[in-house]
Amino acid sequence: MTGRMKRFAATCLGLGLALMLQPAVAETVLRVKLDGELKEIDPIWTSNYTVRDHAYMVYDTLFAMDDKYNVQPQMVDRHAVSEDGKTYTLTLRDGLKWHDGTPVTARDCIASLKRWGKRDGLGQQMMARLERFEQVDDKTFRIVMKENWSLVLPALGKISSTVPFMMPERLANTDAFDQVKEPIGSGPFKMKIDEWVPGSKIVYVKNQEYVPRKEPPSNAAGGKVAKVERIEWLVMPDPVTAVNALANGEIDYLATVPPDLTGLVAKNKNVKLQVVNLLGKQVQVVPNHLNPPFDNVKVRQALQLALKQEDYMQAMFGKQTEFYQVCAAVFFCGTKFATDIGSERVLKQDFAAAKALLKEAGYDGTPIVLLHATDLPEQNLWGQVGAESLRKAGFVVNDVTSDWATVASRRASKKPIAEGGWHLFHTGWAGPDMLDPAVNVLVSGGCVEKAWFGWPCDAELERLRAAFASTSDPAEQKKIADLVQARAHEIVTFVPMGQFRQLTGYRANISGVLTAPVPFMWNIAKN
Amino acid sequence: MLWFLVRRIVAAVPILIFVAVFIFMLLHLAPGDPAAVAAGPNASPQQVELLRQRMQLDMPLPDQFMRWVANLARFDLGVSIFSNQPVSRLIGQRLEPTLLLAVTAMLVAVAIAVPAGTLAAWKADSLLDRVVMMFAVAGFSTPVFVTAYGLIYVFSIELGWFPVQGYTPLAQGILDCLQGLVLPSLALGFVFAALIARVVRATMLEILAEDYIRTARAKGLATPTIVIVHALKNAGVPTMTVIGIGFAILVGGVVVTETIFNIPGLGRLTTDAILRRDYPVVQGVILAFSAMLIVVNILVDLSYALFDPRVRNA
Amino acid sequence: MTALALPGRHLPRLPGAVIAAGVVLAVYALIGVLAPAFVGDIRALNLPERLLSPDAAHWFGTDQLGRDVFGRTLYGTRNSLIVGFAVAIATTLIGVTLGIVTCFSAWTDRIAMRLMDGLMAIPGVLLAIAMVAIFGSSLQNVVIAITVPEIPRMVRLVRSVTLTVREQPFIAAAISIGTPLPRILWRHVLPNVIGAVMVQATYTCASAIISEAVLSFLGAGTPPEIPSWGNMMADGRQLFQVAPWIIAFPGIFLAVLVLAVNLAGDGLRQAIDPKLSRRVGK
């Protein structure tokens, strides 16, 4: 080595050491992998859960649901309801600011609610009964309803999609079917749109000007205190990669650890596993009431008898029975409306009885078009399990496999099979969206015009749901909810295929992870 | 030389037009549509329909096509239906990882293949030759995802030498960046090395049999010198050809490798966009890929001139 | 997606390897034909027995839905062979027709070659993914999606060989005595092209088998109700650390089959082009 080279080498070494010894950057960065991939940024424009998770960082809500599923004020400081129950007066908290620095005003909130009311199911119901919005001053506004509708606050405090998130008026005036161009909210984190690499990385920084509530956090309610300076949400399409990244500390938080892979990180001392989403999700099979043979209630009942929840759950969880439960409650097990009324066929697999019903209904062996998405691992499992059970029960199955995009488009078709229609598809709804007859679209009987995909048409169901919305007596509501479930299972608007929870994994130096049905990022600290 | 370049570039224009039309037709004949995906799995049927109208997906195809072409003519690839980001920005963000991966994989391949192929030719028909060639055939018979998972298992999980996944941009440190690229480029490079090794060997055999090499041998030059100085220089042309052909295959491998190693490159951008029918993105990226392939082929042709004096003088 | 139409001439003689390849192919063919008879119901789920490691009852273990990996791997042979051969045959038929016709008709040549240039400029995998995503995943669509990107290479090969043949004196002679063109093509051109085509078809077959696996692996391939090595590996890749057998056995079967087909191709090339092979010995 010549002298010069030696000097050069020494310099390099020195530089390297200096770099290594440099204290870690003061800013705490939380690296997370949430479910799905953020493709859009407007939580009103799409009902996608991934966008909802993103939106909870950026936006704030007027009201929010606490641990007990009760609605609490969030951006709202005080609220009052008039004697006749028709007028709600809401006053905003002090010090609320949009990410662009302008103050949050009542005008902004009214505009946001109007836009949300064009897209959300419950929002549409609310707007139909709305007399007018009234701006009182910069921080106060009134919601005047035409009738005493008990769901105003539950709608405003809706925890899951589509959540009435608040945006500045200039953005909220965007057509409800166009996306807002900027992610400007008033939530505890700001999205750095210039650092967004779609399909790869989404970056948020702490909103230094956010004024959290004083109450401790409880679900979506209470104080939303950002305890990290920066959040990097990494997109990893491959679940194994994500689990390995968590094990190696390349990410700090993994919203869902696939059940079969929990073993990989269970023994890792640096990783904690916890059921964060206590409510969980449910798998559903949805029949199309428009297309024969599923226009016949007997055939739909045969469908209930053909399928078995344990099959679906075992396919996902194997022997880890602690993560799932067999449950026929349409409003979710473990909630106030949970019941097993009318669930005889739902919980019992009986091929002989199914075949008998099919025969009685005169099923002629028409191939059943099952929409089956193969690019989403869970959907792919459900499709395979479902097709197999249906065959055993005497159905002829046309297992139509495609990507999710095709399934999503085709299920919107009301046409006969020959013209691109369908018979069955699988879906998975999360607990908060199924809690009662008002939010749960799967128990709608609103026919072709108003019902969800599958278009069940049932006057009785619609009558019951209207009755539910017009009462605020808990006992009465419970009674109606029971009737709705009995009716839904009788005419088979859908078949519940099991309820499950999944584990969330995070590094041992992470604290303050909230148990909630949505992966909230506030309150999480990193040491 | 310049004339040649101009001619090649002009010839590329109709090809790109063909690609544009073809991809547009293919996508818009698809049954899935972006509105249904964009609305989200829980959207109501009415919402999907309204969104579809708003996105102008019910506009007649020729009109949609004309709109796209008009923008293309201004070098505007449009914006993503989903993220609302300009397609050119999305491509720009993804270019670095994909190009780096392609280049490092190619380097790995050449580094393995040229010595191996040369050695095999030099010791033609020996046991060594056969072993090398068997490995070569086995190399391109093994799908890249099999190799990739094998490498991750050994080097990331068991030994912990390299990260399991991810990509560090070049700007955040050359070493970190390269460390992340080692396994992906090895996985991808093996397939390639196998292809190139075969060509190098075949060409070397041909050259070693040529008169001037025999002359060199007769003059008493030691064999390694002959192989390295004379023969290898002449093996450049066919090797460049394989690299040109190989680039197209590389792109295929890149899609798979990027998925497994979670590298935010163009390959993944395209597959994601195809799966959700993000028309402007798919059209833009495939056009970009095609342009890239054409450029590589032109470069390969140019490099002939470098390696082969006969072409250079012509 | 391995392109094998390379100027990789002058291979060492590998008679042993070629014989081995033949034996392997015969065994695979046998498995492919017989699999449906002795594998039983390949769709039947057995959920209580999911993710069992290989043992006496399940030689290759079981998968996520409790299905026997051994049975499914054997059945997958059938699928891979069908795709491989179907693509090879389709590519050959289309490629030879287009390749020969273009050489004898100037305007078809111009149009066809521009089309081929365009097709070649689109990365094959992406094109195939797009086609399967768009037209739906069925075996037939997978074959079409793999065939389309393979065609240009075959056309170019046939064209280049035909162009050389066309300049031969016997063709000029045939034309001068008024032999109709179709007859010239059939009697004189085709036999001269067939050798090179067969070699290329073999490589196309190998490449198609890999392509099918890649497509299925990416979730845009053979539908899940047909066991294919690609979709078995796609299902298993999430679990490759806990249940490596799901991905390993189809992977090995796949690699060995492709290897055998490629070796067969090399053997065929030597047999058809003995001149080149002989020169290698020197």
What DSSP string describes A373-388? ESSSHHHHHHHHHHHH
More confident residue, B297 or C274: B297
Query: What is the rounded CA–CA span in Å between residue C185 and residue C104?
Result: 9
Q: Chain B window 159-218: which residues touch C at a Cβ cutoff of 8 Å?
A: 191, 195, 198-199, 201-203, 205-206, 209
Closest residue in C to A239 (Cα–Cα): C238
Residue A118 has what pLDDT? 93
- Identify which of B55, B83, B156 has the shortest CB distance to residue A198: B83
Q: What is the dihedral of CA B30, B35, B37, B41, to 10 degrees?
A: -130
Say whether residue A382 is in contact with chain B using an 8 A CB cutoff.
no
Chain A residues close to C47, C-beta within 8 Å: 310-311, 314-315, 318
Tokens of A259: 């059940």
CB contact under 8 A, A39 and B83: yes
- Rounded to whole angstroms, what are the CA distances from A360 to A134, A299, A364, A393, B140? 58, 9, 11, 14, 58
Q: Which chains touch A (3 or more CB pairs under 8 A)?
A: B, C
Higher pLDDT, C274 or C148: C148
Which of C2, C118, C280 is the closest to B249 by Cβ? C2
Within an 8 Å CB–CB cutoff, is residue C176 touching chain A? no
Q: Using a CB-CB distance cutoff of 8 angstroms, which residues of chain B are in contact with residue A452?
A: 44-45
Instruction: Kindly report the pTM of this predicted structure.
Output: 0.82
Worst-scoring range by mean pLDDT, A420-424, A427-431, A457-461, A469-473? A469-473
Helices and strands in chain A: count of H runs, count of E runs: 17, 21
CA dihedral sign of residues A168, A169, A174, A176:
positive
| pLDDT interval class at A18 (50, 70, 90) | very low
Q: Write down the pLDDT at residue C28.
A: 92
CB contact under 8 A, C126 and B206: no
Q: C225 and A403: CB-CB below 8 Å? A: no
Per-residue pLDDT reduced to its tens digit, B227-278:
676 666 666 766 777 777 677 777 778 888 888 888 888 888 888 888 888 8
Establish whether the linkage from the previous residue to C202 is cis, with ω within 30° of 0.
Answer: no
- The Cα A45–Cα A26 span in angstroms is 37
Given an 8 Å threshold on Cβ–Cβ distance, is C45 in contact with A383? no
CB < 8 Å to C149, chain B:
none
Give which of B35, B92, B39 is closest to B264, Cα–Cα: B92
**Residues counted in chain A:** 527
Question: Please, what is the average pLDDT of chain C?
Answer: 82
pLDDT tens profile B74-127: 888 888 888 888 999 999 888 889 889 988 998 898 888 888 888 888 787 788
What would the mean pLDDT of B6-23 be, rounded to a whole number? Answer: 84
* Interface contact B137-C266, CB threshold 8 A: yes
Closest partner residue to B166 among A49, A245, A403, by Cβ?
A: A245
A40, A198, A429: residue with CB nearest B90: A198
ipTM: 0.81
Among the partner residues C12, C124, C233, nearest to B125 by beta-carbon distance:
C12
Minimum-distance CB partner of C51 among A258, A318, A384: A318
User: Which chain A residues contact residue B57 at CB under 8 A?
Assistant: none
User: Residue A16: is its pLDDT beyond 80?
Assistant: no
Does the beta carbon of C190 lie under 8 angstroms from any beta carbon of chain B? no
Judged by CB atoms closer than 8 Å, whether chains meet at B39 and A161 is answered as no
**Residue C279 pLDDT more than 50?**
no
Minimal-distance CA residue of chain B relative to C220 = B275
Least Cα separation, residue B31 to chain A (angstroms): 6
Q: Which of A61-65, B4-8, B275-279 has the lowest mean pLDDT?
A: B4-8
pLDDT band at B309 (very low <50, low <70, confident <90, very high): low
How confident is the model over A464-482, as a mean pLDDT? Answer: 91
Q: Which two tokens stand for residue C5?
A: 């139409």
Residue of B nearest to C253 (CA): B142
Look-up of token digits 């450049």: B236
CA distance B68 to chain A (A): 19
Higher pLDDT, C106 or B108: B108
Of C44, C65, C136, the CB nearest to A315: C65
pLDDT-based confidence at residue A477 (cuts at 50, 70, 90): very high
Average predicted confidence (pLDDT) for chain B: 81
Instruction: State which residue of chain A sits closest to B97, comparing Cα positions.
Output: A200
Chain C neighbors of A408, CB-CB under 8 A = none
Q: Burial letters for B253-270: b for 16+ Cβ neighbours within 10 Å, e otherwise?
A: bbbbbbbbbbbbbbbbbb
For an interface test with C, the pick among B145, B275, B297 (most C C-beta atoms closer than 10 Å) comes out as B145
